[in-house]
Structures are given as C-alpha cells and as structure tokens.
Structure 1
Amino acid sequence: MRKPVLTIFYQFNPWSTTIGGIQTLINIFIKYAPPEFAVRLVGTANDKTQPILKWQSAEFAGKEISFLPLFSLKNDNVRSLIPTTVKYTAALLGQCFESDFMHFHRLEPTLAALNWQGEKTLFIHNDIHTQMQTVRDKKAILWRRFPAAYFAVESLLVPQFSQILSCNTDAVKHYKERYKSVSDRVAYIKNSYDNELFYPLNQEEKEVEKRELAQKLGLPDDTRFVLFAGRLHPQKDPTLLVRAIAALNDPCVHLLIAGDGELAAQVRTEIDTSGLTGRVTMLGAVPIAQLAQLHRICNVFVLSSAYEGLPLVVLEALASGTPVVTTECGETPKLLTSNSGIVCRQRTSECIADALRKVLQHPEDYPIESCVETAQPYAARTVVRDIYSEMLNRWEQRVTFAVKV
C-alpha cells in the first residue's frame, strides 16, 4: 500500500532563518512526521540555486521531503509593496498540487485549490475577528482596510475545507457561529513546541550561562534579561515594549529583541529617543537553536501584542522554564497560571513595566517547574503524533471504503 501524501502550503523556505509561529509549526509537522507519510512542501526559494516550479528531494530535520518553490524570496521577514501572500496565491493559480491531505496556513492561496481533490485543512493562527476590528494600524493586515471584501472571500472559500482548526478558542467560536453549515468541521487544536529544542536548565546552570551572556555583551554580571522574540510588525507592537522598558527605569534590566521586520528602524529610533541605547540589544533574526538558548537563560519573556492566536514563542519560553508577561490578547491569558506569568489587563507601557518589575523582583513566585508544567500539554511529540494518527485513520478508512466499492 502506498503512503498517504501530505502537502503543506506556505510562503517560506524552511532552510532560511525565518521568523514566525506558522513557520515554526510547519517545521514541527515536518520533523515529527511519522514514516507512514510522504511529506511535500510548496514554499519559496531563498536563492537562485533552487529551481523554481520543480519538485526536488530535500532533507529537513532528518526527514526526507519533496520541496517545490513557487518563486524566489530573499527575506520573508520584511513585507514588500506587494504582499507575499498575493505573490504566492498568484503563483499557485493554474497549478494542481492536490494530494491526500493538504494543509493551508493562509486563506488566500486556497483560491487556487477550490477544484483540487483531497482532504483540505485550514489552520487559523489568529483571532480573526479581533484582528479585523483592531483600528490602530490599518497596515498591520491589508484586509483590515476592506473587511467586507475579506469576509466575502472567506465565505466563498470556507466550504471547501474538511477541517478548520484554530489554536484560539475565540476564533473557533467565531467560525462556528459565522459558518453554521460547516460548524461541525471547526475545532480547537493545540499549538505545540518542539520539546527536543526547548527545555530548562537548573537554576545554577541558568545563572552561569546568564553571566556568560552578560560578559559577552559587556554588561554587569548581575544583569537581568527580558526577552522578546518575534516579527517586528504592528501586530507585536515592539515600540510599546521599548516604552515599557523606559517606564521600568531599571539600569540592571536589559532587553533582548530577537527578530526582524518592517518596524526595525522605528524600534531603533524609539530606543535612541528613550535613551535606552545601552539597555536594549537588537539581535536580528536568530537561528532556532540560539533562540532556545536565550529562552533558557533570560529572566522573563514578554509580549506587547495587539492580537494573537496562541503564540508558539510563549510555549517555548514556558517550556524553557521562563515566566511570561503578556498583554491581554489571544489564548495566552487562558493558559498562564499565577505562578508562570502575568497578564497585563491594560495594554500600556506602565502596566507592562509593573508586571515585569513584579516578576524580576520576585522570581521565586515563578519557579522553573511551574512554567514547564504549564507548557507540558503542548509538547510536539504528543500533539503532532496524535494529529498524524487521526489523519492516518481517516485515510485508511477512505482506502478501505474505495476498495469495497
């Protein structure tokens, strides 16, 4: 019996240093794919050595996959004038990559797949209702300028999916209520972190490696580190975070920003204007192994986002034994416990600064063990294994039924 084929569609190259929870989740699905499946990825090329629109065998995370780049994209961390999703959708039109299972992480590319045969799954990564209603920055998502058009397109495309899965319970509720004819196909899915990469150190090891990082950056040995990791994008509102560090006003606290994006220059300006040049380090996009190390040694991880789903980076921080400070958005507030982090009830620099101060001054209230325990149910080895097991069962049932017919 042949292997069932899973084709994953997303506008990135897994061999590049790329920022984003979607990319991380796809990498996890590839890494933890069982041998019963053949996995294909339709993505983008990171240089001219990868032939465009041609299937090629490749290895990622120890797994053999088939990879087809639709076009060349040098840096997917920064948006261009024409959104990458538009380019990706346009490149898909007229193609046919149907297979037993198809995973989509953006709605727009599924326009090309309307007539494709196979089981299609749409992953929803944000609370789309909140995302569309947020009024501060219309550039954060292009569709926000045309909400009626977005929902018209969504209404056209949603019926084709066998499953609509979201890591955000509010998004699940929204889709069930808005699309009652397919409500039985909408379900909650746990986001997952790679438990082979993200794990804690003991307290002694953590202190040793934290001192080494401080010395490497030319900082005092007693420096306490606050970590942000993610795309420098209006959704994440990194300038608010810089203002929170200014409001914290603690010379022993140093902010590490691991990420890149269109707001990088604006963040640097905010750092200079706030007089924080010596108290913030912008690391740019960092490889996943280096990010895991930062998670293990920092005192606290922080998010200042306007909207979220369930950020993988939160799970990664907790799994590394690091408490989380977050704004009140997405699924994180429902996940955090009183001894694994703090939810800021107001999205202001003062409120975020107060929460950071509390965690930094009372680390004993947020022990490593409590953080790890909070993240444990989301470990990839368990979550992804169960998803693939359900997929295989459905495929075997379909094959058995086809044979009988």
Structure 2
Amino acid sequence: MQTFVRMLCALSSEVGLEVTVLGVGPHESHGSSVHFSPVLASVRSESEYVRALKKFVRTRKFRVPEESVVLANAEHYSWALRNLHLPTVLLAHGVVAQTLRIRRGRLSALLFRAFIEPRAIKNARRVICVTDRVREYYTRRYHREPEEKFVSMSIGVELGAFEHRPKGSPRQDFAIDEESSIILFVGRLSPEKNVSLFLAACDYLASSGQKFNAVVVGEGPEGDRLAATLSSRPWLRWIPRTSHDQVLDLMAVANVLAITSTYEGLPIVLLEALGSGLPVVSTDVGRARHFLRGSTGVVVEPDPAAFSRALRDALSARLVKRGSIDPAIRTAIDFRNTARSIATILRQVRDEASARPAVIPHAPQRSSDDKLGGVRMR
C-alpha cells in the first residue's frame, strides 16, 4: 500500500487532486499538491496505528477543507473514521478477513467480519475493488447494498520506473554469481505468502542439477525459519531489507519471479514484473490468471513439483526483450490510468455529497485517512 500512496501523490497535481496523507513518519511536510501529517513517528502494529488514528482525529485540531473526501486504504482505517460524517471511498486491496484468517486464525477473521467490515462498507459511498474476485466477495456478502457501490478497478504501477534498468550493480551488491540464473521472490515473509512452497520448489530444482540462485527479498514472522535454512541451501540468498529502487534493479537482472501465495488481493509485485518484462510463475491469486500467458508467465498449482517444473521451464525459455511489453498490458498496468479513474470517483462522490447537505455537515470537520497514506481530496 505504501507504493500505491507514493504513486498517487506523485500524480496528484496531474489529475487535479489536492492530497493530505495521514500516516507514519517523524515530520510534517508540505508540497504543491501534497501535505503529509504524521499520526505517529513510528508504529509496531496495525492495531496500534488504528487506535492512534482514532485518537488523532478526535483530539487534534485538524480542519478539513470544504468538499473533502476521504480515501481509506482499508476497512479498519475507514472504521476508525466512522464518526466524522465525511464522504468516504474505501479502497479494498483484498479481502482483509482472508488474510487475518491465515495470519491470526478464524476468531480474528470472524471478529473483523462481524464488527469492522460491515461498518466500513455501510459508511463508504464507493468501494473500489482491485479485482473482480474482490468485488464478487463484497457484492455477495453485502447484497443489500446497491451493486453500483462496488467498482472494479485495475490498479497499476509507474511504468517510467522500469526504464534504464539496472541503475546499479545488484549482482555485486548482493553477492549473486554473475553467471547464475536468478529466481526472485519478493514479499513480506508472512504465512499467506507461503515462502515454504518457494523453498520446496527450489529444493526440487536443485536436486535435478539446475544451477541458479534463489533470491528472497523481504522480512516478517517467517524470517527466522528462513534464516535457519541458509547454511543448508547454498543457492539461497536472503535480503531482509532493501530499497524499492534496488528491487527493481533485481527484477531487471532476474530470470523469473515466483509468487507462491495462498491468498492475495492484487500482488503489486506481479505488475512490477510485467512492467520489467520479467516472466512470472504464480499460484492462482489476484490477477495472475488474467495476465500470465505465453512469454509473461504461467499460473500453476501450489504443488512443489509442479512449481519446480514451471520454474525450470522459465529458466530454459528464451526471455522476452526487456521493455517489449504488450500494448494491452501496458495500458492495463499504467498507474496514470488508475489515478485518473480514482480522481473521477472522488469527484463523483464529492458532488453526490454536496447534493445531500443533511448528510455532510457544513461546519469544518476533522478528518484522517490511513497509516500507509490515506488520501483526502478537495
């Protein structure tokens, strides 16, 4: 979500938005069309941030310009703002309850579905769904809400970020053999990312005599388990933290990206691989089945042997030339189109709210958004 907010802020002036981001950071900052106001200097957990966000908008003298609209990046952020009586657009990057069930168990998912999710949906004027699957979940579960409230939208990436890559020397920086093939895994090391499937598939590949380096970029609760296997897997490289710029450099020199998740709303890393011209082997999550065919990659079953065969095929295949993105895919993943669509929805909601003075108070209200960059428009 940080990547999404960064891209939206970068294009805010171009699409005619004035944006206030309420998030995590040490200092307040101002730009021509973007203002950042820190809720906390640092945060240890999502729940800590939600509590701080609720307190922030209740106790701080935070004046909202007229005709403001809240763009909330998740249900729990929208829930924290439920008493502000501001028109809200909810951006659903996925089904949060699904992720909670995998990470924290059934009880957490049930509580979220019972108390937070329905209030957020009721409060939202629009719910932007990043895939048709996500929209289908909401329209089925909240069938009493008008269907037009739930809008499918293709979220994109900044295509210019992939030009002239690599800008650095990623093989040298991360001690990767110059001659070896690279299988790349990028993501938070949490249960739903299923890094164990990635490692098992690479074990199969190594046992067949294939020469490669498997590079895992990311950290999280599964990190200790991964670290414990490094000595027994000489082909494995782990990069817990690095910059987004270096991730894009790694994509430029890698041979294939692996996505092994059991659940994803929309893997941004999939779109970044497409923008890089990097083939992808993925489980059936997000929009993988929509994009992956032929030279772009393949969707496979979450089975180590099947995943290993797909990785081997990708390593032996002739790669597409970098930058030769299919025009239809380029249009679908261009974040400029995403920003324009979001701006259109925000204006529609603003106009609808202006026509209902009994719902939106005339007096300035306090507002907020979310940890990773909720957006407010005026």
TM-score by length of 1: 0.76
Distance change >3 Å, CA 128–CA 375, structure 1 → 2? farther
Give, in whole Å, the separation in 2 of the partners of 1:390 and 1:297. Answer: 38
Cα distance in 2 between the residues matched to 1:215 and 1:118: 51
Change (3 A) 1:216 1:156: closer
- 2:341 pairs, out of 386, 389, 398, with 386
Deviation digits for residues 289-342 of structure 1 (CA, Å, limit 9, x no counterpart) = 211111112111111111011211111111111011111222212221222101
Matching residue of 2:153: 189
**Which of 1 and 2 has higher RCO (CA within 8 Å, sep 6+)?**
2
Alpha-carbon RMSD: 2.8
The answer to whether the 8 A contact 1:308-1:330 is kept is yes
Which of 26, 29, 52 pairs up with 1:57?
A: 29
1:230 maps to what in 2? 187
Partner of 2:23: 43
Aligned residue in 1 for 2:362: none
Structure 1 equivalent of residue 92 of structure 2: 124
Match of 1:89 among 47, 50, 65: 50
* Distance (Å, rounded) in 1 between the aligned partners of 2:199 and 2:247: 20
Partner amino acid for 1:196?
A: G
Query: Paired residue for 2:134?
Result: 171
- Indicate whether 1:266 and 2:225 are aligned: yes
Q: Distance between the aligned counterparts of 2:53 and 2:29, measured in 1? A: 20
Please say if residues 13 and 33 of structure 2, whose CA atoms lie closer than 8 Å, have aligned partners that are also in contact.
Answer: no
CA distance in 1, matches of 2:177, 2:52: 52
Is the contact made by 2:184 and 2:256 (CA closer than 8 Å) also made in structure 1?
Answer: yes
1:148 aligns with 2:110: yes
Give the partner amino acid of 1:29.
L
The one-letter amino acid paired with 2:22 is V
Kindly indicate whether the alpha-carbon contact (under 8 Å) linking 2:17 and 2:33 is maintained by their aligned counterparts in 1: no
Equivalent position of 2:364 in the other structure:
none
Indicate which of 293, 298, 305 corresponds to 2:254: 298
Q: Alignment partner for residue 315 of structure 2, among 346, 353, 360?
A: 360
Count of aligned positions:
344
Residue 394 to residue 28, structure 1, CA distance change in 2 (3 Å): same
CA gap 1:37/1:371 in 2 versus in 1, 3 angstroms: closer
* In the alignment, structure 1 residue 24 sits paired with structure 2 residue 3: yes
Q: Identical aligned pairs, as a percentage?
A: 20
When residues 67 and 344 of structure 1 are mapped into structure 2, their CA distance, relative to the original with a 3 A threshold, is: same
Amino acid at match of 1:149: L
**TM-score (structure 2 length as normaliser):** 0.81
Q: Tell me, yes or no, if the aligned pair for 1:34 and 1:388 is still in contact at 8 Å.
A: no
Displacement of 1:354 after TM fit? 0.9
Rate the CA distance shift 1:174–1:291 in 2: closer, same or farther, 3 A: same
How far off is 1:44 after superposition?
1.4
Question: How far apart, in 2, do the equivalents of 1:315 and 1:197 lie?
Answer: 12
Q: Distance in 2 between matches of 1:324 and 1:90?
A: 38
Q: What SS is found at the alignment partner of 2:2?
A: helix
Q: Deviations over 1:66-112 (max 9, x none)?
A: 222222326xxxxx5xxx22112211225256661111122123233
Report the secondary structure of 1:67's partner residue.
strand
Distance in structure 2 (CA, Å) of the matches to 1:388 and 1:329: 27
CA distance in 1: counterparts of 2:111 and 2:245, whole angstroms: 41
In 2, Cα distance between equivalents of 1:394 and 1:220: 53
Counterparts of 2:281 and 2:311 in 1: how far apart (Å)? Answer: 7
Compared with structure 1, are the counterparts of its residues 190 and 218 closer, same or farther at alpha carbon in structure 2 (3 Å cutoff)? closer
Check conservation: 1:199, 1:319, Cα contact below 8 A: no
Match of 1:348 among 296, 303, 307: 303
Residues 26 and 144 of structure 1, relative CA distance in 2, 3 Å threshold? farther
Q: Distance in 2 between matches of 1:215 and 1:37?
A: 41
Q: Of residues 62, 72, 91 in structure 2, which corresponds to 1:104?
A: 72
The Cα offsets for residues 236-278 of structure 1, whole Å up to 9 and x where unpaired, read as 1223212221111145211122212222111111333xx21x3
Give the direction of change, closer, same or farther, for the CA distance of 1:105–1:217 in structure 2 (3 Å limit). Answer: closer
Counterpart of 2:374 in structure 1 is none
1 CA distance for matches of 2:174 and 2:113?
48
Q: 1:126 to 1:401 in 2, by over 3 A?
A: closer
Q: Which amino acid aligns with 1:88?
A: Y
- Closer, same or farther: CA 197–219 of 1 in aligned 2, 3 Å: closer
